[in-house]
Amino acid sequence: MSRLGIAGIGAYVPRLYVPASAYRDAWGTGGAAGVERVAVADADEDVLTMATEASQRALDAADGDASDVEHLALATTTPPTDEEEHTVRLASLLGIDPAVPTRQFGGGTRAGAVALAATLDATGPALVAVADSPQGTPESDESAGAGAGAAALVLTEDGVVSVEGVGEYGEPFPGTRFRRRGSADTESIGITQYERDAYTSAVGGAVEALEDDVSATSTAGAAKRADAVALTAPDGALPYRAARTLGVTTEKIAAGTVVSQTGDTGSAGPFLGLASALESGVSSVLLVGYGGGAGATAAFLSAESDVPVDAVLDGDTALSYAEALRRRGTITGEEPEGGGAYVSVPTWRQTIPQRHRLVAGRCVECGALSFPPEGACFDCGSLDGYENAVLPGSGTVEAATAIGQGGAPPEFVEQQQRSGSFPVAVVAFDGPGDDESVSAPAQVVHSPAGTPVIGDRVEAVPRRIYEQEGVVRYGFKVVPTEARR
């Protein structure tokens, strides 16, 4: 069976960022080498929301639809919880059939490359999403470089990018990059030469194994053939340490490296570099995922023609260092007890189609839309039920206000502490048919002018709503169309 090829690539980096100079001013140290700024996930963003954004971009680039996906893989080292089937939630957010096989990869920052290699022989079309948002203790080098981002690949039998070969290598270098059980902070033992040796040894070994791949003999000299090299990049210096080992120029590594603008994006790093390289027009890329410990997986990709890429790789909103700490939740208070609108997990689950995919109901009696589709039809009063009608996600603001500091319900207090007051709106969402709409409330994110005004156009985006009983609730919020990237 022939391997699947890449038909489209999507990438998403949060719009918030903190300049490296802000870290240096705060701590009086140099920060992460070669990193000019780091992307910061907003208070209501995490690897699942970023993976959803990147995946939808990949599907759009490939001119595909979630209903076509027959295999889904998610790779991350920073999942919302240490144990849960996060790929199932990603499938729901995207609208992928629940019967589609799902796989989750983690354990080290080469997880994305492992996920790609494992999916090449799957039944297509397949979707591979890679997302990470590492962090470290505030004073650490890991924290200085910690970024956030996601990338996704749509794989099909006729994809324009062929994966000619895969190579893997592992050799024990304990302590090079790890996260303790129950901790959110990435660490290393901090022995610079030891870490460099681990990196170059694993990366070089994986590329050598790639070139020896008997099922892809055409990859001999893959590193030299590649127009760009996309490597896992904990900082902006380490990837260049591999140039001599691989026998490539630093220009090739620069062509596949975006860490200077995103920071350390963990397992997503090589794939963001891949998206950037292919978007610039290169025709071949050597991709290597490296995981501390140490192991690496390499793949050689060649494009037959222009590659469809839908990528947003730069933030547009700078934060101060204190603001970045607040958005990340490093400095927040505790949630007050009582007073919230408690919604049990079973009750919340019943509304997942509405919250994840904007599934409205069309009255079987009169055809009017209802959101959510429950109870009697507002138009005709019928109790005969509804047919599913998926809303496209665009709409018009009908009313808006802002929830000021101290005014949020308890379940939203952490979000308010991290991001400040937030606008909410009643939105007339466009219906599936012409000249029809249905109204629903929604939080507004990234509104350039603050609280939107009546008549503003908005679009739905996936976000964290809140966490209760240890369970993260996901749903849609809206962003002004003019601010949509």
Closest to 72 in 3D by CA, of 173, 167, 163, 153: 153
Ramachandran region, residue 41 (left: φ > 0; alpha: ψ -120 to 50; beta: rest): beta
Largest interatomic CA distance in the chain:
74
Tokens of 330: 């490093």
pTM: 0.94
CATH topology classification for 5-327: Peroxisomal Thiolase; Chain A, domain 1 (3.40.47)
Neighbours of 470 (CB within 10 A): 7
Question: Hey, is 461 helix, strand or coil?
Answer: strand
C-alpha 91 chain-centroid distance? 14
- Span 177-223, pLDDT tens digits: 999 999 999 999 888 999 999 999 999 999 999 987 644 444 447 88
b/e code 81-114 from CB counts within 10 Å (16+ = b): eeeeebbbbbbbbbbbeeebebbbbbebbbbbbb
- Nearest CA to 412 out of 463, 459, 461, 347 is that of 463
The tens digit of pLDDT for each residue in 454-480 reads 999 999 999 999 888 889 999 999 999
Q: Indicate the SS3 state at residue 432.
A: coil
Which residues neighbour 349 within 8 Å (Cβ) at sequence distance 6 or greater? Answer: none
Q: Which two tokens stand for residue 65?
A: 């639809």
For residue 322, which amino acid is it? A
Q: What mean pLDDT is predicted for residues 369-376? A: 94
Instruction: State residue 271's pLDDT score.
Output: 98
Share of the chain above pLDDT 70, in %: 96
Q: What is the mean pLDDT of residues 225-242?
A: 94
What pLDDT score was predicted for residue 334?
A: 55
Mean pLDDT of the 128-132 span: 98
Report whether pLDDT(330) > 90.
no
State the alpha helices, DSSP H only, in 120-228: 141-145, 192-211, 222-225
287-322 pLDDT tens trace: 999 999 999 999 999 998 899 999 999 999 999 988
The domain limits of the chain are 5-327, 345-483
Instruction: Give the pLDDT of residue 340.
Output: 55
CB-CB neighbours of 18 under 10 Å: 27
Task: Answer with the residue of higher pLDDT: 252 or 28.
Answer: 252
State which amino acid sits at residue 230: A
DSSP 16-37: EEEEHHHHHHHHSS--STT-SE
Computed over every residue of the chain, the mean pLDDT equals: 91
- Residue 339 above 50 pLDDT? no
Per-residue pLDDT at 341: 65
